[in-house]
Structure 1
Amino acid sequence: MSEPADLEALRRLMPPPSDGGTRVDWDAITVSWGRRFPPDYQRFMEVYGAGMVQDYLAINEPEARVPLSDAQRDGMVIETANAEADWETEDKASELEGTSPVLINWGVDGTADMLCWDASDKDPAKWPGVVYKRNGSLWSRYDCGMVEFLVRVLRADFPECPLGGLFMWGVGEVAFEKGGG
């Protein structure tokens, strides 16, 4: 799917909040992380904002990369550091063996799975998803953007659920609550 088609599909499966998304200074985010963020994530933030999907998956608000001591508790910077630490110690699916992705965390679910991008490519529209499924202790790669990933989870359109819980797997329409991400 394309980014606009993915977002439209997501709107049908997960109605956006009536009060709109989150305003983000994308220039400041780009400078602090040293790279632009994916266009589908930027549109997601405009339409939905940070928040919770089905009271299970927290979508992080973009935040400037700062030292860990200055980072928001459970925010993008802290969760990225957690992902980087787990990358070093946990198993990887065969397609990830020997790779060294640039991880940026965009979400965490209720079973402590970490949802990240591999931000190695200069073009953020090409960043694949990289998910650490904690109850399987395995990192896996998904060659799609964040919005397409959500749509595919809601439609059960992967060979198996990439998340540790089935709270969103193939359920069709879900609730999104702004804030708390």
Structure 2
Amino acid sequence: MATYGDGETDAFLAFLVPGPAEGPVPSGDMAEETAEARRMWLEKPPAGYGSPATPPVIAWGVNARADLLCWVIDEQDPRRWPVAVWSRGGLSWSVHGCGMLEYLVRLFRGEIDPMRADDDGVRRFVHVREAQRLLALGISPDTGEPNPYADMVGPPQPRLSQGD
């Protein structure tokens, strides 16, 4: 978050923004999804993890299928927190024996979950402010093309000329 900020990758993966935390429950954008993840953990914990009174998960992302991407915070060292994914479609957890960075690298390479990429295999991260700017111009942040729905919501969008 410190380096790239709030945003999403290819309209597939949105990163949740942490807010100031008071105790073991996060705030900001993470709070609602973490509450959902903890509820799912209590109802159907992953194999080998049991069902502790306070589920050891913090949500950090949501994908296009509304799956929750979480850290399993059962270690003191955050660098050792594995990634757990709650599949809303499969109604099950999968715990990956790697941290967030390795998980993302494997995800973007298609080793974990096939993700849409452009023809060159490039996956784009779009900062939330850039997405808002593009939408205001009537451009889809996902494709870079004119947004065919731009005039359906809000005030008319400015038209771009060839040179823009």
TM above 0.5, one fold?
yes
1:54 corresponds in structure 2 to 10
Cα gap change, 1:167/1:66 in structure 2, threshold over 3 Å: closer, same or farther? farther
Residue 80 (structure 2) pairs with residue 131 (structure 1):
no
Q: Which structure has more helix as a fraction of its residues? A: 1
- Greater radius of gyration (CA): 2
| 1:1-181 equivalence runs, <5 A | 45-65=1-21, 72=28, 75-90=29-44, 92=46, 94-96=47-49, 98=50, 100=52, 101-158=55-112, 161=113, 166-167=115-116, 172-179=121-128
Q: Once the 2 structures are TM-superposed, how far is the Cα of residue 56 of structure 1 from its aligned partner? A: 1.7
CA distance in 2, matches of 1:106, 1:88: 18
How many correspondences in the alignment? 122
CA distance in 1, matches of 2:79, 2:22: 24
Q: Is the 8 A contact 1:66 1:77 kept in 2?
A: no
For residues 62-81 of structure 1, the C-alpha deviation after alignment (integer angstroms, 9 at most, x for no partner) is 212359xxx54xx1011111
Q: Is the 8 A contact 1:53 1:175 kept in 2?
A: yes
Q: Once the 2 structures are TM-superposed, how far is the Cα of residue 46 of structure 1 from its aligned partner? A: 2.5
CA distance in 2, matches of 1:144, 1:156: 15
1:18 corresponds in structure 2 to none
For residues 131-167 of structure 1, the C-alpha deviation after alignment (integer angstroms, 9 at most, x for no partner) is 1011111101111111211110111224xx2xxx743
Unpaired stretches in structure 1, ≥5 consecutive residues: 1-44
CA distance in 2, matches of 1:52, 1:125: 22
Q: CA RMSD in A?
A: 2.4
1:12 corresponds in structure 2 to none
Cα gap change, 1:179/1:106 in structure 2, threshold over 3 Å: closer, same or farther? same
Unpaired stretches in structure 2, ≥5 consecutive residues: 130-164
CA distance in 1, matches of 2:45, 2:21: 27
Q: Once the 2 structures are TM-superposed, how far is the Cα of residue 90 of structure 1 from its aligned partner? A: 3.1
